[in-house]
């Protein structure tokens, strides 16, 4: 019996010794924080650019597509986040207990509250923050002389963002008739020109913008502003005047057009046309109020060459106002066989000497390289700028 109690005592002492020894082991994970654990409702203390690691410039607003960083506490275990009423996919947000990284969504809200709504498993919070919503930008019709009954492209920005083709509040109107809208992207949309469309009209674009009801009016087929409606007998030069297009040539828009198709040697001089006309007093006195326009068309195999300060030269008044039109200066310009409207500030064309009375008007071509071209020009006009 004595032996049994002695063995039991030894076993208990052994267990106590092992337990005591285990308690003396240093646990290096004690009080370790992996930065992902939250202990209460979320708190946002500031918003910064995602690259502002030193937190030097807090943000009050941000544009679409900007990466931002929320700072605060208890931001992990996110379950929902919204900017205004636009919800962001939680899987697209990286969140720790002290920070959250996300991209400002490129989508216009229906309700603008200028707040961030942040929800986690332990609560939710709000934070004042403005998403800068870009408004619609309308450059105009790709071809302002688009024929009645045809489809016309509109160039600009943020069409899809503001619901053209989807929302009743975003619409296109011509002479009181709402036009069909299709193929909408953020930079372009297509509208149907009515069969009964008349020249010298305007097209109105309406939408609900960030500042409420907005509208822009653009011109359509302003034939009353043509310098010459019919060039027959009104010009000299080498350009071929087309009155009845052949197969493969673009259609007539507003009278005969000039057609140039030939190979050129470097520095070869060519006069597309030369002419003169009496300029209106208001245009001569206020060139900054007017825009010089024409339509052009290039064969898909002959884009406009980048000739620097040479190439196509437009002259008003005299040679002191020789303007270089180089649409390929930044990237190759090609209309791919379609008519396209060109817009130039008239003040830029007469920057050296203002026109008065009888005005000389010429277009020349002098390439700085060997080049083949097949280009057309139509509808030269000076239009007064529209104001809404």
Q: pLDDT (tens digit, 9 = 90+) per residue, 83-99?
A: 999 999 999 999 999 99
- Non-local CB neighbours of 135 within 8 Å, separated by 6+ positions: 158, 162, 209, 210, 211, 214
Compute CA distances 223 → 216, 229, 333, 368, 382, whole Å: 21, 8, 26, 34, 10
Please provide the CATH number assigned to the domain covering 223-384.
2.60.120
The 10s digit of each residue's pLDDT in 288-313 is 999 999 999 999 999 999 999 999 99
Contacts of 286 (CB under 8 A, 6+ apart): none
Mean pLDDT of 151-176: 94
Sequence-separated (6 or more) residues with CB below 8 Å from residue 356: 279, 284
DSSP 43: E
The first and second tokens of residue 344, run together, are: 């130039």
Kindly state the tokens that stand for 292: 């010089």
The predicted-structure confidence for 232-290, as pLDDT tens digits, reads as follows 889 999 999 999 999 989 999 999 999 999 999 999 999 999 999 999 999 999 999 99
CATH number of 137-220: 3.90.850.10, 2.40.110.10, 2.60.40.10, 2.40.30.10? Answer: 2.60.40.10
Domain with CATH 2.60.40.10 in the chain: 43-132, 137-220
Domain 43-132 belongs in CATH node 1.10.340.30: no
- The token duo for 83 is 């900017």
pLDDT for the residue 301: 95
Which residue intervals of the chain bear CATH 2.60.120?
Answer: 223-384
Residues 33-37: contacts with CB under 8 Å, at least 24 apart:
33/97, 35/76, 35/96, 35/97, 35/98, 36/76, 36/96, 36/97, 37/76, 37/97
Q: Is the pLDDT of residue 27 over 90?
A: no
**If pLDDT is split at 50, 70 and 90, which confidence band does 15 have?**
very low
Provide the CA 269 distance to its chain's centre, in angstroms.
Answer: 37
**Residues near 72 by Cβ (< 8 Å), separated by ≥ 6?**
42, 43, 44, 45, 46, 98, 99
Tens of pLDDT, residues 113-142:
999 999 999 999 999 999 999 999 999 999
Name the nearest CA neighbour of 304 among 379, 377, 381, 227: 377
Alpha-carbon span 66 to 51, nearest angstrom:
11
- Give the predicted TM-score (pTM) of the model: 0.79
Q: Which tokens sit at 15?
A: 């267990």
**CA distance to 7, 308, 323, 380, per residue, from 367 (Å):** 110, 9, 14, 22
Is residue 210 very low, low, confident or very high in pLDDT (cuts 50, 70, 90)?
confident
């Amino acid at each position: 019996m004595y032996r049994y109690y002695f063995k039991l005592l030894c076993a208990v002492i052994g267990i106590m010794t092992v337990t005591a020894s285990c308690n003396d082991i240093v646990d290096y994970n004690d009080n370790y924080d992996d930065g992902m654990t939250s202990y209460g409702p979320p708190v946002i203390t500031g918003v910064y650019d995602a690259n502002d690691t030193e937190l030097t410039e807090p943000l009050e607003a941000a544009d679409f597509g900007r990466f931002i960083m929320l700072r605060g506490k208890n931001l992990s275990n996110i379950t929902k986040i919204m900017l205004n009423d636009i919800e962001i996919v939680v899987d697209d947000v990286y969140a720790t207990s002290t920070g959250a990284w996300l991209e400002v969504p490129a989508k216009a809200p229906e309700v603008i509250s200028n707040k961030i709504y942040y929800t986690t498993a332990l609560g939710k919070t709000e934070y004042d923050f403005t998403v800068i919503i870009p408004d619609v930008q309308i450059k105009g019709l790709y071809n302002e002389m688009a024929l009645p009954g045809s489809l016309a492209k509109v160039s600009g920005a943020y069409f899809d963002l503001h619901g053209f083709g989807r929302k009743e509040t975003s619409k296109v109107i011509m002479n009181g008739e709402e036009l069909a809208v299709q193929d909408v992207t953020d930079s372009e949309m297509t509208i149907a020109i009515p069969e009964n469309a008349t020249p010298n009209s305007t097209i109105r674009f309406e939408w609900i913008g960030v500042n409420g009801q907005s509208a822009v009016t653009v011109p359509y087929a302003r034939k009353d502003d043509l310098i010459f409606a019919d060039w027959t007998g009104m010009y000299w030069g080498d350009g071929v005047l087309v009155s009845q297009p052949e197969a493969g040539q673009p259609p007539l828009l507003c009278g005969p057009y000039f057609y140039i198709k030939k190979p050129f040697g470097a520095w070869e001089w060519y006069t597309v046309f030369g002419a003169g006309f009496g300029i209106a007093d208001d245009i001569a006195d206020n060139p900054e109020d007017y825009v010089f326009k024409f339509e052009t068309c290039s064969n898909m195999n002959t884009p406009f060459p980048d000739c620097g300060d040479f190439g196509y030269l437009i002259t008003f008044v005299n040679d002191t106002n020789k303007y270089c039109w180089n649409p390929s200066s930044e990237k190759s310009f090609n209309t791919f066989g379609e008519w396209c409207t060109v817009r130039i500030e008239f003040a830029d064309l007469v920057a050296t000497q203002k026109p008065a009375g009888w005005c000389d008007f010429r277009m020349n071509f002098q390439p700085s390289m060997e080049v083949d071209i097949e280009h057309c020009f139509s509808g030269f006009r000076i239009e007064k700028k529209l104001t809404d």
